[in-house]
Every structure is written in C-alpha cells, then in structure tokens.
C-alpha cells in the first residue's frame, strides 16, 4: 500500500516512530517534541490504544498529554473492525491535529484497523499535514511493510522474521523497535534482505525517528537508531538457506545514529549531531 497522495500546495505531516518505553517522567524529550509539532498548547491529540490489551493504556497517555498542557486529548479505542467503520468516531479522529498510536501487539493494529475508515482517515490526515506517531507496536505499523514478529539474535537466519502489511504512511522504511534491548538486529537484517529497496530503522527504547515531509529523519532520545541500508546488497543466500540457517549478506551499509543526528532517506546520507561536528 503506497502513501496517500499529497494534494497540490499541501505538505505531508511528520511521521514519528518511537522505539518504545519513551521517557514519561523526566525530560520527556520525545513526547514534548511530538506535542510541539502538533501545535503546542493548541494541539488536539487523538490517542489510539488498539494495540494494547490493557484498558489503562489510553488513560495513561491521556494523562501524559494533559500534563504537557495540550488543548485537548481524546482516547479512541477502536477495539473492533466495526468500531473502525463508525462515521462519528472517524469524524472525531479527523478533528485532531496529531495522532498517537500506543504500543502492544502490531498485529492487533493491522488486523483491526487495516482497510477500514480509520486507516484511510489516518492516511488522509498525514497526507494533509497531521503528524502521526507510534510507539513500539505503533511504530512498526506506520510503514507499508511491517515486521509482524520474529526471533531474537544478531545473525540473520532463514525464517527469522515474518512481515505483514502496515498502515502505509511511508514505503521508504521498515521499522523495528526495542531494538538493542531485545537483540533484534538479525531479524531487521533478514527483513532488509527481502526488501533491499527500503531502509531498515532499528529504534532503541526512548529513541525516536522524526521523518519530515522531505524524507529527512531526525533522531530524538536517549538511545541509538540503527540504519540498515541494503541498496548496495551484492549477495544474499536467503533464497537457498534452509529454515533456521544463518544467511550470508554482502554489501550492506550500517549507521548508528544518536540524538541530534539525521539521515536523508532519499540520498541515504547520514549526518552527525551538530555538537559532534564542531568537535572534529
């Protein structure tokens, strides 16, 4: 599924992928930045906790955003496909200046929201300028190709990862979350070997990728963001490997980015944080 078409004279809104466990009690850099791009104190944020099985998740983020002094917060559960077709609820969603998808299970997002009025509304909203953010499972769901589940470990292996359709706000990246904490390099490498046209984004916890309309990515947070660029992949043995066997991948490029660094998804060029460049 390709991103929704941006109308002439308009600009796509930011896409914000968060690795999960973002700071909620300290500087709250990621949430503060998201609120700012949604309008600051004038922001009206819709929280969608569909991915979570906990009934308290939506209320937690409602409290967090209220504490950041936004104009309004609305929790929209969308816990069934029927609920995702409700015109009144979709109309409430479309009045938001920004949307936040919580963590949980990304397959709950794809199987509940996929192909519904809600999914179409989210795509239209982003194409019209509204920022759409997702944390953990919500982050994985933002792109066209979504990592549904997979095994842990640093080595790519045949059968290590399963992909499913995501929301489709962008087709330039494949996102994995809780990256370093859950040792997910191998499954992201495997996903990229199947889809070398895209760029792999591995997000540590409390780390976010803010992707602007011009496809530049800025890193915010306390962890690191791993970029896997498979555009120059020379060889992959995944087609011949048996289930569980390690794969040989030659020609990959990898970058480790931290707060303040950026990456151009079009030119595939990384830029160090400004402070680090001054020290050189």
145 is catalytic: no
Given the residues 22, 52, 97, 205, the one annotated as active site = 205
Nearest-angstrom CA–CA distance, 215 and 11? 12
Given the residues 145, 158, 178, 255, the one annotated as active site = 178
136 is catalytic: yes
Measured CA to CA in angstroms, residue 184 lies from 75, 150, 154, 175, 195 at distances of: 31, 8, 6, 11, 17
22 is catalytic: no
Nearest-angstrom CA–CA distance, 86 and 92? 10
How far from each other are the two terminal CA atoms of the chain, in whole angstroms?
43
Given the residues 89, 110, 136, 143, the one annotated as active site = 136
- Catalytic residue set: 136, 178, 205
């Amino acid at each position: 599924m390709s991103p929704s078409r941006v109308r002439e004279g308009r600009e796509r809104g930011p896409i914000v992928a968060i690795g999960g466990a973002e700071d909620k009690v300290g500087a709250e850099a990621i949430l503060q930045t998201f609120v700012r791009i949604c309008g600051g104190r004038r922001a009206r944020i819709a929280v969608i906790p569909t991915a979570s099985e906990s009934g308290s998740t939506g209320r937690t983020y409602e409290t967090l955003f209220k504490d950041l002094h936004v104009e309004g917060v609305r929790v929209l559960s969308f816990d069934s496909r029927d609920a995702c077709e409700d015109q009144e609820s979709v109309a409430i969603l479309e009045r938001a200046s920004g949307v936040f998808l919580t963590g949980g299970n990304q397959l709950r997002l794809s199987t509940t929201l996929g192909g519904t009025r809600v999914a179409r509304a989210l795509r239209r909203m982003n194409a019209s300028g509204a920022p759409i953010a997702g944390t953990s499972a919500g982050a994985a769901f933002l792109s066209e190709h979504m990592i549904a589940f997979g095994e842990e470990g640093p080595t790519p292996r045949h059968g290590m990862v399963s992909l499913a359709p995501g929301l489709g706000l962008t087709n330039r990246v494949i996102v994995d979350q809780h990256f370093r904490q859950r040792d997910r390099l191998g499954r992201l490498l495997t996903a990229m070997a199947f889809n070398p046209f895209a760029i792999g984004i591995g997000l540590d916890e409390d780390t976010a990728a803010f992707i602007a309309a011009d496809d530049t990515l800025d890193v915010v947070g306390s962890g690191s963001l791993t970029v896997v660029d498979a555009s120059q992949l020379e060889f992959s043995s995944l087609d011949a490997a048996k289930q569980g066997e390690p794969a040989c991948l030659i020609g990959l490029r990898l970058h480790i980015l931290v707060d303040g660094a950026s990456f151009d998804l079009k030119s595939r060029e990384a830029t160090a944080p400004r402070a680090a460049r001054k020290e050189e």
